[in-house]
Each structure stands twice: as C-alpha cells, then as structure tokens.
C-alpha cells in the first residue's frame, strides 16, 4: 500500500501545479506526467521506509494519515528541480523532523497490528573478577 497516491497529491496541490512540475520535456503533454510523479512518490516512500524499518515491520498493514502527509510533502518537494519556494522547503524540513521523531520513538504510529521489533531475549551479561581491594583485603594495612 503506497503512502501517498496521485489523487492525494492532486487534492492537496492541484492538477495545475502538478502538471507544471511534471510536464518538463518537449513535446509537452499538457497533463500530469505519471512517470515523473511516480518517481517522486517512490522516492518519498524510500525515504519513509528507511526511517521506519528500524522500528516497524514493513510493509505497514495500513498507512496512518500522518505518513500520507509526510509522503505528500516529500514527493512535492522532490518535484522541484531547481529551487523550491520557502513554503515547500519548510514543509520538507517538517516532514523530515517528523520522520526522525518516529525513528527515535518520540512519535509512535498506530499501524494496526504491526509492532516494533522485539529486543533480544538474552540481553547483555557482564562478568567481572572478584574485588582485589576491599574492606577485607585491606584489613591490617
């Protein structure tokens, strides 16, 4: 299940904006170029998967709205080849902060049935020798 779809992006950013950002090469199609848009969506998904893989089992059973928002911001920013407007840059940075918070455990996702990988059952064992200098060993000094 993708994090964001073409229809999600059209609803959020408009058909006109997406056409301007994806119809890049002559002969111009005067429509959204799906291959360009799909590449931006795949790029966003790759970034999200990288942040989630250490904490959640992928693929997710359901996509939380928070991740749809993050994916939309990342994909839209990826469509800006040269310089992006300040709003797009700020949205991208906010999306990346959200991903860092998710990866760090500050923000938890309700992903319906998938859990974070369990810690190893064995744990860590520390073995040390007996104390050389203690109350008993220093008695009489």
Residue 73, domain member (yes or no):
yes
The rounded distance, in Å, linking the Cα atoms of 91 and 86 is 9
pTM of the model: 0.78
The answer to whether 72 and 9 have CB atoms below 8 angstroms apart is yes
Q: Cα(first)–Cα(last) distance of the chain, in Å? A: 74
Q: Average pLDDT for residues 94-116, to the nearest whole number?
A: 84
**Residue range of the domain that includes 96:** 6-104
Domain count, the chain: 1
Residue 100, domain member (yes or no):
yes
* Per-residue model confidence as pLDDT tens digits over 24-75: 988 999 999 999 999 999 999 999 999 999 889 899 989 999 999 999 999 9
Q: How far is CA 25 from CA 9, 58, 107, 132, in A?
A: 21, 35, 41, 77
Residue 136, domain member (yes or no):
no
% of the chain with per-residue pLDDT over 90:
64
Matching residue, tokens 């994909």? 75
Using alpha carbons, select from 9, 70, 58 the residue that is nearest to residue 37: 9
Residue 139, domain member (yes or no):
no
Residue 20, domain member (yes or no):
yes
- What are the respective helix, strand and coil percentages of the chain, to the nearest 5? 50, 0, 50
Q: Average pLDDT for residues 105-127, to the nearest whole number?
A: 69
């Amino acid at each position: 299940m993708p994090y964001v779809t073409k229809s999600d992006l059209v609803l959020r950013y408009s058909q006109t904006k997406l056409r301007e950002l994806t119809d890049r090469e002559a002969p111009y199609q005067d429509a959204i170029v799906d291959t360009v848009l799909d590449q931006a969506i795949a790029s966003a998904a790759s970034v999200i998967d990288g942040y989630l893989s250490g904490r959640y089992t992928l693929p997710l059973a359901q996509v939380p709205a928070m991740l749809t928002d993050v994916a939309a911001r990342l994909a839209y920013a990826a469509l800006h080849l040269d310089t992006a407007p300040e709003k797009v840059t700020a949205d991208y940075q906010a999306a990346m902060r959200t991903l860092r918070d998710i990866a760090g455990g500050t923000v938890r996702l309700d992903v319906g049935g998938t859990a974070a990988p369990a810690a190893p059952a064995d744990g860590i064992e520390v073995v040390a020798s007996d104390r050389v200098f203690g109350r008993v060993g220093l008695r009489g000094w």
